Amino acid sequence: MALKIAILASGSGTNAQSMIDKAAQGVLDVDIRLIAGNRPGARVFERAAKAGIPHVCIDHKAFADRESFDREMVAVIRAAGAEYVVLAGYMRLLTGTFLQAFPGRVINIHPAILPSFPGAHGGPDAQAYGVKITGCTVHFVEELVDSGPVIIQAAVPANAGEELDELMDRIHPLEHRIYPQALQWLAEGRLRVEGRQVFLAPAGRKTVTPDGPWLVWPPLEEGF
């Protein structure tokens, strides 16, 4: 049975698009019940409309506080029948109210190798620090920012003096691969969380050989 998900996004929605595409290709076994966000006019809603996916914008500015906004978001997600919440460039800190509604069922992607450089500017912060390796992380969400158990990480080289866009052009394509992969593992029931450790059950599927200067662990599997 397909994993029923709601995708939350605030911007252009490129990670959401990667999930839409993989689902359409029959590679990713998810049922995208809803795409929701908080910024009117965000391009992610155009992507949802083009794919025929239900979508809604709930403007956070119309609410008195984070708790009331999150209660409304929880209500629309539940009404859509989603079981997991997938954060894809969602620029809102989640309250305990939200996380308690979906315990252990909220997933996020971060543009750095956690636990280094958490927060809204992970990519720029890593570059400014002068790291030689950076990347992206898919993880379960806890109340502390970017602190939950790690599912999968990708690493790429970072070069002194390069523009931030050059670095992010190496990171983003891997985001679009590791996030759907993590969701597929969830859909297959292959992930088990014990404390901070996330265990992946084997499936006997071929893994992908890197075709460039990147490393993903656990390894990507066929189709991703």
Name the binding residues.
Answer: 13-15, 66, 91-94, 108
Query: Is residue 139 among the annotated active site residues?
Result: no
- Beta strands 150-157; 215-217: pairing state: antiparallel
Catalytic residue of the set 60, 110, 139, 176? 110
What tokens were used for 46? Answer: 């155009």
Binding site per annotation, positions for (6R)-10-formyltetrahydrofolate: 66, 91-94, 108
Tell me the torsion sign for CA atoms 29, 33, 39, 45. Answer: positive
Give the C-alpha separation, 24 to 119, whole Å. 32
**Catalytic residue numbers?**
110
